[in-house]
Amino acid sequence: MSRRWRAGIRGRLLAGFLMLFVAALGVSAVITAVLVNDYLFERSVAKLRDDERRIATLVESGPQTVNADQFETMLGPPLGIMGLDGGGRILFAIGTSAGREYELARLAGAGAPGDILVTEDAAVAVLVDTPGMRIVHADRNADEVAHLILVNDASVDRATIAGFAGSMAAIALVAVVVLMALTMVVLHIGLRPLAEMAQAADAIANGSRDERLPVSDHGTETDVLAAAVNRAFDAQARAEDRARTFAADASHELRTPLATVSGWLELYRQGGLSGDDVEQAVARIEDEVGRIRLLVDELGLLARLDTGRPLDSRPLDVAALAGSVVEDAQVIHPGLDIALAAPPDRPPVSGDAARLQQVLRNLVGNAVQHNPPGTRVRLTLRRDGDDLRVDVADDGSGIPAADLPRLFDRFWRAEASRSREYGGSGLGLAIVQAIVRAHGGRVTVESEVGHGTTVSLFLPVGTAPEPPR
């Protein structure tokens, strides 16, 4: 459970917030320490400069004899004072200078009056010339002091700040704990839509096909995600419905010829056929077997096209294919007006000649079979941008507008009884669309009741067919 929690969104977000907060505290602490250290140094230097000016004023007033303790009191803490004679010998050291005499003397010997001296423990000092000044220290005779070293030790301030920093660290620790608790509450509230989405998804997985993820009107990121997932579920539901319909229609289409074959065979087995009746039964059985074979072939073709298997790709003349289809149709239907119009400068198309010829045969066959006698059928080829456009038009009875969106559905028939009369399976236009898409093209239909129908194929010029997406 703990490992799952750490790997989840809540755990990762909480860890991320915690890391950012700790990093922010660390950076803030470093910056504060640098700024405080600079402030203490500048304040110490300012104090020394002020004391330096006071001593300079005192020296300018003439020779002075000063008690060291009174002098220290006058300058104030945290000052330390160390006196040097003209040869650099240490005369006395009081206050914060005590314990640093030799280091201060060394630094003074290498420096000049007015220089700021910094000891190893970060005490700040300044060297001041005091000609004519005599200082009495510890009941000793007054010593003539050539130089004074004023020392300002900020360690007391640093100790105070260190204690303050410790308090701030404790407060920061408490703040981290409080932040974690608040973050967990905020994450629980913020991720509640995801939990609701997970519950809805579980319900869908358990068979509730009408369940969908909740989507509010706020347009948040989770709403966008839920809407996208809902669209995916809708698409899956439609695909499942199509698969069920497809299976039901396929079984229905196979049931009729199989029932016919079974009926004739049962009649023959019972001795109900003799003489010419046997020949008639065999002929009927052959017809029904042919329908079954055609349906199986068409289903197999659609399955191959659905899986995106590449078709044969060779340069071909679509006009020549259309011409052969028109010639065959004129032979089969000598009383109908079927014609082809193709420009002499026909653009080449790469594709599968047999499949494209099958497309044209299906379209011409539909125009002939599903229209009244005397209907004219025209095949027209022309260039349309980067495509070769093939129009198969008739002036027949037309198709109702309500039926146009379903023309390419598998096993769908606008007039089922008449389609069966011609042995149609309801897959012809579905195959047309699948083959054209496999060539990277598209199919459109325009129709008006009483004025005819035009099916238009758009095939890319000079390109190899691409698998459908």
Structure confidence by residue, pLDDT tens digits, 236-245? 777 777 677 7
**Contacts of residue 257, Cβ cutoff 8 Å, sequence gap at least 6:** 288, 289, 291, 292
Summarize pLDDT for 387-444 with one digit per residue, the tens. Answer: 899 999 988 888 888 888 888 877 776 654 344 444 456 777 888 888 888 888 999 9
Find tokens 């191959």 and name the residue: 304
Residue 78: is the preceding peptide bond cis (ω within 30°)? yes
Residue among 292, 275, 327 at smallest CA distance from 423: 292
Domain ranges of the chain: 63-154, 221-305, 308-460
| pLDDT above 90 for 456 | yes
The tokens for 175 are: 């703040």
Three-state secondary structure call for residue 337: strand
Name residue 66's beta-bridge partners. Answer: 135
CB 78 within 8 A of CB 153: yes
Chain mean position to CA 350: 37
Q: Name which of 95-104, 135-144, 362-371, 377-386 the model is least confident about.
A: 135-144
Number of residues in the chain:
469
Q: Name which of 2-11, 281-290, 332-341, 436-445 the model is least confident about.
A: 2-11
The tokens for 295 are: 């349906």
Indicate the CATH number of 308-460 among 2.130.10.10, 3.40.50.1100, 3.40.1350.10, 3.30.565.10: 3.30.565.10
> Which helix (H) or strand (E) segment is 453 a member of?
strand 452-460
Q: What is the mean pLDDT of residues 270-294?
A: 81
CB 83 within 8 A of CB 143: yes
Summarize pLDDT for 170-213 with one digit per residue, the tens. Answer: 777 777 777 777 777 776 666 666 666 777 777 766 766 666 76
CATH class label, 221-305: mainly alpha
CA dihedral 354, 359, 363, 368 (to 10 degrees): 20
| pLDDT above 80 for 325 | yes
**Distance, CA of 113 to CA of 256 (rounded, Å):** 119
**Distance, CA of 49 to CA of 152 (rounded, Å):** 11
Q: What is the pLDDT of residue 457?
A: 92
Q: What is the pLDDT of residue 468?
A: 46
CB 370 within 8 A of CB 391: no
Name residue 336's beta-bridge partners. Answer: none
Q: What is the pLDDT of residue 50?
A: 86
Question: Which of 30-34, 331-335, 353-357 has the highest mean predicted lDDT (pLDDT)?
Answer: 353-357
